[in-house]
Copies of this chain bind each other. A is one copy, B any other.
Amino acid sequence: MMDLLTIGELSVRSGVAPSALRYYERLGLIRADRTGGNQRRYARAELRRVAFIRISQQVGVSLDEIRAALDSLPGSRTPSPQDWERLSASWRGRLDERIRLLTKLRDDLDGCIGCGCLSLQRCTLNNPGDTLAGEGPGARLLLPRPASPDGE
């Protein structure tokens, strides 16, 4: 057991399927050296990148954004704990926001539905995050934005 991992080993240690790891590599989220026989060999540091990816997904960040974040890591040296801390902190706001939204939704469910106003007319549920400010005629309400549905 040396300090380069095969894809199977990385898969077991990270809990991520080999096919997903290859997929991440194609998207540029992780990288691997190759043996003479073209097999992937992962540095131990990749384990941390994979951990970061899965955690970020839980926060609700897309792989594309995760890639962008990972790209901001220093390419020259192995990222330090502070590097990781900085990246993780950058999700902190989103995490807070999601928690806030869900908590608000819970409170609204208690208050708003109980009162029978579940009509999304002027109910607070209508525009939960204050995120949307009049764009289009309909309320265009609720839900994490569907990634620019109409030409924006």
Contacts and interface: CB of A to CB of B under 8 A. Distances in A.
A84 to B, nearest CB: 5
A143 B54 contact: yes
Chain A binding surface SS class: helix
Contacts of A11: 138
In the complex, the count of this chain's copies comes to 2
Contact of A54 (B50, B54, B103, B142): B142
A125 interface: yes
A105 B138 contact: no
Contact of A88 (B17, B109, B140): B109
Given A95-B105, A99-B102, A128-B58, A142 B81 contact: no
Given A81-B114, A92-B106, 18 more contacts: A12-B138, A13-B121, A14-B120, A15-B140, A47-B120, A51-B125, A54-B143, A55-B109, A55-B142, A57-B142, A57-B143, A58-B105, A58-B143, A81-B115, A84-B113, A84-B118, A95-B102, A99-B99
Interface of A: 11-17, 47-48, 50-52, 54-55, 57-59, 81, 84-85, 88-89, 91-92, 95-96, 98-99, 101-103, 105-106, 109, 113-116, 118-121, 123, 125, 128, 137-143, 149
